[in-house]
Amino acid sequence: MAKEDIKKFQFKKGKSGNPNGRPKKFFSSVLSEIKKNGEVVTSNMVKEVYQSLLSLDEYQITEIVKNKDLPMLYRIVGKRMLAKDGFEVIEKMLDRANGKPKQHQELSGTLDAKVKIKLPAPSSDAIKAWEAAKNMQIDAD
């Protein structure tokens, strides 16, 4: 492909390749949408909503999204769960509500190294007790 052919696909000077910017993270987008509606929400409230919505089926979540009497937090999160990226949303909700699972790695092999251990000097009482123990004779019956 010639340079002239590539130039027509390059961004124009002064124009961004991503005019809308980086999309907001899920948690931030939910909070900003709720704040836009004038509601006050804490992270604990969001955690409780996540845990309660995760146990519902699709029909129940659809009904929550439609119900205008419910808090916006339930409706917004439910709407995001039903979207095409619903699996990713649910995964993020689980991570936020329960924490990410710990990953364990097992390492095996050999290490050929010298290790120096520096111990504190024994106290004079410990030295005296050691000397006394060395000089003791034990009678075996």
Tokens of residue 74, six digits: 């339930």
Phi, psi of 130, deg, nearest 5 = -65, -45
pLDDT number for residue 122: 82
Tokens of residue 137, six digits: 């004779």
Q: Locate the domains of the chain by residue range.
A: 23-98
Q: Contact at 8 Å (CB) between 74 and 37?
A: no
pLDDT number for residue 103: 80
Tokens of residue 52, six digits: 């309660």
Encode the chain (141 residues) as per-residue pLDDT tens digits: 566 777 777 777 777 667 676 665 656 666 677 677 777 777 777 777 777 887 888 898 899 889 888 887 788 888 888 888 877 877 877 777 777 777 888 878 887 888 888 888 888 888 888 888 877 766 665
Judged by phi (left if over 0) then psi (alpha if -120 to 50, else beta), residue 80 lies in alpha
pLDDT number for residue 90: 77
The separation between the first and the last C-alpha atoms of the chain, rounded to the nearest angstrom, is 100
- Sign of the C-alpha dihedral, residues 72, 75, 80, 83? negative
